[in-house]
Amino acid sequence: MIFRTIDYFEGKVRIIDQTLLPSIEKYLDLGSVDEVAEAIRSLKVRGAPAIGIAAAYGVLLSLETFLKQTVSDPPPFFFDRTNGKAITAGSEPDMRSVRVKLLQAIDILGATRPTAVNLFHALDRMRKIVEREDLDIHLFCGKMKEEAFRIFDEEIETELKMGEYGSSLLKDGMSVLTHCNAGGLATAGYGTALGVIYSAASEGKKIDVFADETRPLFQGSRLTAWEMMKNDIATTVLCDSAAASLISSGKVDLVITGADRVARNGDTANKTGTLTLAIICSKYKIPFYVAAPLSTFDLEAETGAGIVIENRDRDEVVLFQGVKIAPSGVRVYNPAFDVTPASLITAFITEKGLIYCPFDINIEKTFSAGE
């Protein structure tokens, strides 16, 4: 099953509001770059691949808004992923003004969340077109539309390939533990870590899933469990603090997580609590895999020390559904991510296959092979 996580529909960015799941399945149509930026910051759309797509769509939406304001007798919308509509006839806006507007949008979107590198990769791809000076407005709009939708299409294709490679690690009857949500809701609709499980299930393998609840925002219990139930995959939710006893009991065959940024040496940033799982797996000799598209690898970060970790609002920890669960004035430590050293990772599952140690050499080889 491919989830309708994010789309560009008739001049608006359409997302499922992940803050309301699992109780309410509500879709939002975002009509401005500011609305897209707010949706990323507030986690209405989340997950490294998904926010990369959202960023690309946000830039296209900024162009859409500009055209509506400047083209005489504009159509109801200019861009749509399904029918591929683009600019038609009418008065032509000044290209310099277009570029200024879109570069402002890129800056706004780039300031939303600092850790997931997919956001910046997508914005860089859109920026390269914005800065081209050899295009008239018609060609420019076509290129912008094609690049934004290509980012989405490539992501879906990547996720399906990752699922195929990763499913080879899973045998019928295995139990898999995962953390946070690295499924269709975090991506273009299929998933990275959960995509591996979906692929195995599609091959007829019975896989038992354990989902950490993932405090403080419960992406595991709210989102991963919701996805699994939608796909009729047996799932057990557990408190994060119960993972050690579960793994030590021998009831987990392997752990698969997603990633928000992978450094050149294999150090990996993912949802806080991932490091804990990796340490536990090392202790009990359980394989620990990271499913991540190559767009999540940051070759400019030599090690995990070069990854910026986002610290989020204290209210995420001290409030639960608006109810205070900690005393007023208490200090709060709320990093959204932690960094797992490469030495604790068994292998990476990518769209180019599995990457094993030595990671610094094999990551470089994987990227070089794609050039």
pLDDT of 87 above 80: no
Each residue of 1-22: pLDDT tens digit? 788 899 999 999 999 999 999 9
Task: State the CATH number of the domain containing residue 66.
Answer: 1.20.120.420
Contact 338, 274 (CB under 8 A): yes
Each residue of 153-171: pLDDT tens digit? 999 999 999 999 999 999 9
Average pLDDT of the chain is 94
Identify the domain boundary among 121, 140, 158.
158
Tell me, yes or no, whether 193 and 328 share the same domain: yes
Identify the domain boundary among 118, 142, 158.
158
Residues spanned by the domain of 35: 6-158
pLDDT band at residue 116 under the 50/70/90 scheme: confident
Average pLDDT of 192-208?
Answer: 97
Tell me, yes or no, whether 150 and 222 share the same domain: no
Tell me, yes or no, whether 206 and 270 share the same domain: yes
User: Catalytic residue at 298?
Assistant: no
Phi, psi of 226, rounded to the nearest 5 degrees: -60, -45
Tell me, yes or no, whether 223 and 87 share the same domain: no
Each residue of 47-78: pLDDT tens digit? 999 999 999 999 999 999 999 888 888 888 99
Each residue of 343-359: pLDDT tens digit? 999 999 999 999 999 99
pLDDT band at residue 295 under the 50/70/90 scheme: very high
Contact 346, 321 (CB under 8 A): no
Task: State the CATH number of the domain containing residue 294.
Answer: 3.40.50.10470
pLDDT band at residue 371 under the 50/70/90 scheme: low
Q: What is the pLDDT of residue 121?
A: 95
Identify the domain boundary among 111, 143, 158.
158
Average pLDDT of 80-108?
Answer: 81
Q: Which of 80, 212, 240, 260 is catalytic?
A: 260
Tell me, yes or no, whether 354 and 219 share the same domain: yes
Q: Is residue 305 assigned to a domain?
A: yes
**CA pair distance 203, 191, nearest whole angstrom:** 16
Q: What is the pLDDT of residue 245?
A: 98
Number of domains in the chain: 2
Tell me, yes or no, whether 126 and 255 share the same domain: no
Tell me, yes or no, whether 206 and 307 share the same domain: yes
Q: Is residue 1 assigned to a domain?
A: no
Tell me, yes or no, whether 102 and 209 share the same domain: no
Q: What is the pLDDT of residue 264?
A: 97
Each residue of 319-350: pLDDT tens digit? 988 899 999 999 999 999 999 999 999 999 99
Q: Structure pTM? A: 0.93
How many percent of the chain have pLDDT more than 90? 88
Q: Are strands 261-263 and 268-271 parallel, antiparallel or unpaired?
A: antiparallel
pLDDT band at residue 146 under the 50/70/90 scheme: very high
Tell me, yes or no, whether 208 and 138 share the same domain: no
